[in-house]
Amino acid sequence: MKPVIALVGRPNVGKSTLFNRMTKSRDAIVADFAGLTRDRHYGDGRLGNREFIVIDTGGFEPDSSTGIVKEMAKQTRQAVAEADAVVFVVDVRTGLSGQDQDIARYLRQANKRTFLAVNKAEGMSDSPLLAEFHELGMGEPHPISAAHGQGIRSLLEAVLEPFGPESDEEPPPEEEGVIRIAVAGRPNVGKSTLINTWLGEERLVAFDMPGTTRDAISVDFERHGQKFKLIDTAGLRRKGKVFEAIEKFSVVKTLQAIADAHVVLLLIDATQGVSDQDAHIAGYVLDSGRAVVVAINKWDAIDSYQREQLERSIEHRLAFLKFAPLHRISALKRQGLGPLWNAMADAYASAFKKMTTPVLTRLIQEAVDHQQPKKHGLSRPKLRYAHQGGMNPPIVVIHGTALDGVTDVYKRYLEGRIRAHYKLVGTPLRIELRSAK
Ligand code: GDP
Ligand code: GDP
């Protein structure tokens, strides 16, 4: 499991700048005024080969009792509850404030491992200005500059220290032939209904239901001889033989389940359309490189006009998941569920497809014979050979000269040819270009 780090502090201290620095994402908002409302942002970070999840929170005023500020405080409390460690961010330029004191008091009660990051301290690693922050009683202040990327590595090393050293060890081998599935989707899309339907179907043999552990719900089952493992799905709890939705939906759990899966089944609620949250989850799935199958659930509940509208909106809003097969299902009425299994198995097979160097090289050469890459400046990119660089997602590494000049359009053309040859469905395909020096 990836450790989770929450960034907490009053508005404008530099939390989202730090978030962007840690995740290298362009996703979070950075704005130069106080009190901007914003959602929590979640991103993947990496230090060496250690991965973690970062949560950026809005500005935090623990004692607020009304309006937007109260909502932001609630969001922050939830982020802290989900986190393994908290980075409390303060601003050396404005100095210690009463609000910082309030937040420190709250964090002490929250009883999470907390690190104090004194931001905007570019070029001030031993300035006397840092000393006053000792007063917060949050341990040694870590001077950082989120904007200039200073001190962040050593801060992260301290935060991640208990989660084990950086290592080059391979992860433990996976159970062979078991397809790991995460069912993702916001509350109420029908996740527990679908899972209960699956488990209730005769042809599904649940062969290893875990005991009564309240939270960990991974379920192994078999269909037509294929083993599946349904991994912990956010927002569900097992009660006896059935799963039920619980109120608290955890984005962190969703992200961890996605990271742990081979194939993500992304559920969309037909009666609600594609929401921002759906699009966010989908974007995250795309970044993760996992295989994806999209299912629009509650297809039974909408009429033909609404169906048409919905299809258009999906085409538009989830265009970046074009490679994912789209299924229309009803978990409640048990419609469309058989093809879904096949789609997940196909996506898995595509994600783990073995591609040999001779075949890839021939495909690349045929593609070039059919259509050459355009000249870039004086030279024309020359594609020489290709090999497979990874699986889940499959990565094709193409070697040659002057490959900097290969356009995105041409890359997509190559991707299309490789996809067609190997009949890849439901998985992203990454193409990497390596020019000989
Ligand atoms: P948040 O409200 O805590 O998320 O703060 P932001 O990340 O939006 O940053 C608030 C302001 O502080 C922005 O104008 C940032 O450019 C600026 N800022 C962030 N980090 C640094 C830093 O390390 N040094 C300096 N000088 N300014 C910073
Ligand atoms: P979860 O929060 O994602 O686990 O969602 P639930 O499985 O609890 O479903 C939320 C609501 O949607 C329940 O009232 C279900 O009965 C209903 N629902 C689930 N699947 C379907 C479906 O295929 N069609 C219709 N009409 N309703 C459904």
Task: Count the Cβ atoms, other than its own, within 10 Å of residue 242.
Answer: 13
Distance CA 42, CA 46 (A): 13
How many C-alpha atoms does 165 have within 13 Å on its Cβ side?
Answer: 3
Q: What is the pLDDT of residue 27?
A: 44
33 marked ligand binding residue: no
Q: What is the pLDDT of residues 286-338, one digit of tens each?
A: 888 899 999 999 999 999 999 999 999 998 888 888 899 999 999 999 999 98
The alpha carbon of 14 and the centre of ligand 1 are apart by a number of angstroms equal to: 3
Global ipTM: 0.76
Check residues 328 and 42 and name the one with the higher pLDDT: 328
Task: Count the Cβ atoms, other than its own, within 10 Å of residue 44.
Answer: 18
Q: What is the pLDDT of residue 237?
A: 67
219: left (phi over 0), alpha (psi -120 to 50) or beta: beta
The alpha carbon of 330 and the centre of ligand 2 are apart by a number of angstroms equal to: 9
Which of 186, 188, 296 for mutating ligand 2's site (highest number of atoms within 8 Å of CB)? 188
Q: What is the pLDDT of residue 400?
A: 95
Instruction: Tell me which CATH code domain 4-163 carries.
Output: 3.40.50.300
Three-state SS across the chain?
Answer: CCCEEEEECCCCCCHHHHHHHHHCCCCCCCCCCCCCCCCCEEEEEEECCEEEEEEECCCCCCCCCCHHHHHHHHHHHHHHHHCCEEEEEEECCCCCCHHHHHHHHHHHHHCCEEEEEEECCCCCCCCHHHHHHHHHCCCCCEECECCCCECHHHHHHHHHHHHCCCCCCCCCCCCCCEEEEEEECCCCCCHHHHHHHHHHCCCCEEEECCCCCCCCCCEEEEECCEEEEECCCCCEEEECCEEEECCCCCHHHHHHHHHHCCEEEEEEECCCCCCHHHHHHHHHHHHHCCEEEEEEECHHHCCHHHHHHHHHHHHHHCHHHCCCCEEECECCCCECHHHHHHHHHHHHHHHCCCCCHHHHHHHHHHHHHHCCCCCECCECCEEEEEEEEECCCCEEEEEEECHHHCCHHHHHHHHHHHHHHHCCCCCCCEEEEEECC
Q: How many residues does the chain have?
A: 437
User: Once rounded to an integer, what is the mean pLDDT over residues 62-70?
Assistant: 68
Q: Which ligand is the nearest neighbour of the Cα of 123?
A: 1
56 marked ligand binding residue: yes
Q: What is the pLDDT of residue 126?
A: 75
137 marked ligand binding residue: no
Q: Are 273 and 310 in contact (CB under 8 A)?
A: yes
Q: What is the CA radius of gyration of the chain?
A: 24
When mean pLDDT is compared across 93-97, 154-158, 374-378, the lowest value belongs to 374-378
Structure tokens, 376: 């870039």
Tokens 């509650």 sit at which residue?
Answer: 298
Q: Give strand pairing partners of 85.
A: 5, 113
- Using pLDDT thresholds of 50, 70 and 90, give the confidence band for residue 204: low
> How many percent of the chain have pLDDT more than 70?
84
Specify the residue with its C-alpha closest to ligand 2, atom 18.
190
Decide if pLDDT at 85 tops 90. Answer: yes
Decide if pLDDT at 65 tops 60. Answer: yes
Q: What is the pLDDT of residue 112?
A: 92
> How many percent of the chain have pLDDT more than 90?
50
Give yes or no on whether 4-163 and 357-435 have one common fold. no
The dihedrals phi and psi of 306, each to the nearest 5 degrees, come to -65, -35
Report the CATH fold assignment for 357-435. GMP Synthetase; Chain A, domain 3 (3.30.300)
The alpha carbon of 277 and the centre of ligand 2 are apart by a number of angstroms equal to: 17
Specify the residue with its C-alpha closest to ligand 1, atom 14.
32
Decide if pLDDT at 28 tops 60. Answer: no
The residue ranges of every structural domain in the chain are 4-163, 178-352, 357-435
121 marked ligand binding residue: yes
Which of 12, 29, 127 for mutating ligand 1's site (highest number of atoms within 8 Å of CB)? 12
The alpha carbon of 325 and the centre of ligand 2 are apart by a number of angstroms equal to: 22
pTM: 0.76
Q: Is the CB of 301 under 6 A from ligand 2?
A: yes
Specify the residue with its C-alpha closest to ligand 2, atom 12.
190
Specify the residue with its C-alpha closest to ligand 2, atom 11.
188
Decide if pLDDT at 26 tops 50. Answer: no
Peptide bond into 393 cis (omega under 30): yes
List, in order, residues 6 or more apart from 239 with CB less than 8 Å away.
none
Q: What is the pLDDT of residues 224-241, one digit of tens each?
A: 888 888 886 766 666 666
**Strongest mean pLDDT among 154-163, 217-226, 253-262, 294-303:** 294-303
User: Once rounded to an integer, what is the mean pLDDT over residues 104-120?
Assistant: 93
Decide if pLDDT at 215 tops 60. Answer: no
Spell out which residues line ligand 1, taking CB within 6 angstroms.
9, 11-17, 30-32, 59, 119-120, 122, 145-148
**Burial label, 415 (beta-carbon count in 10 A; 0-12, 13-18, 19+):** middle
Specify the residue with its C-alpha closest to ligand 1, atom 26.
120
When mean pLDDT is compared across 75-84, 194-203, 299-308, the lowest value belongs to 194-203
- Using pLDDT thresholds of 50, 70 and 90, give the confidence band for residue 211: very low
The alpha carbon of 122 and the centre of ligand 2 are apart by a number of angstroms equal to: 52
Q: Is the CB of 405 under 6 A from ligand 2?
A: no
Nearest to 309 by CA among 317, 126, 99: 317
User: Once rounded to an integer, what is the mean pLDDT over residues 164-182?
Assistant: 70
- Ligand 1 atom with least separation from CA of 34: 2
Q: Is the CB of 187 under 6 A from ligand 2?
A: yes
Decide if pLDDT at 209 tops 90. Answer: no
Q: Which ligand is the nearest neighbour of the Cα of 118?
A: 1
Largest CA distance in the chain: 71
Specify the residue with its C-alpha closest to ligand 1, atom 6.
14
191 marked ligand binding residue: yes
Q: What is the pLDDT of residues 337-369, one digit of tens each?
A: 989 999 999 999 999 999 999 999 999 999 999
The alpha carbon of 340 and the centre of ligand 2 are apart by a number of angstroms equal to: 17
Decide if pLDDT at 198 tops 60. Answer: yes
Report the CATH fold assignment for 178-352. Rossmann fold (3.40.50)
133 marked ligand binding residue: no
Q: What is the pLDDT of residue 312?
A: 92
Distance CA 13, CA 288 (A): 30
User: Once rounded to an integer, what is the mean pLDDT over residues 405-413?
Assistant: 93
- Using pLDDT thresholds of 50, 70 and 90, give the confidence band for residue 268: very high
Q: Give strand pairing partners of 221.
A: 206, 228
Decide if pLDDT at 47 tops 90. Answer: no
Q: What is the pLDDT of residue 234?
A: 66
User: Once rounded to an integer, what is the mean pLDDT over residues 164-188?
Assistant: 74
Q: Which ligand is the nearest neighbour of the Cα of 247?
A: 2
- Using pLDDT thresholds of 50, 70 and 90, give the confidence band for residue 35: very low
The alpha carbon of 150 and the centre of ligand 1 are apart by a number of angstroms equal to: 13
Decide if pLDDT at 169 tops 60. Answer: no
Nearest to 234 by CA among 245, 224, 226: 245
Q: What is the pLDDT of residue 282?
A: 85
Q: Which ligand is the nearest neighbour of the Cα of 189?
A: 2
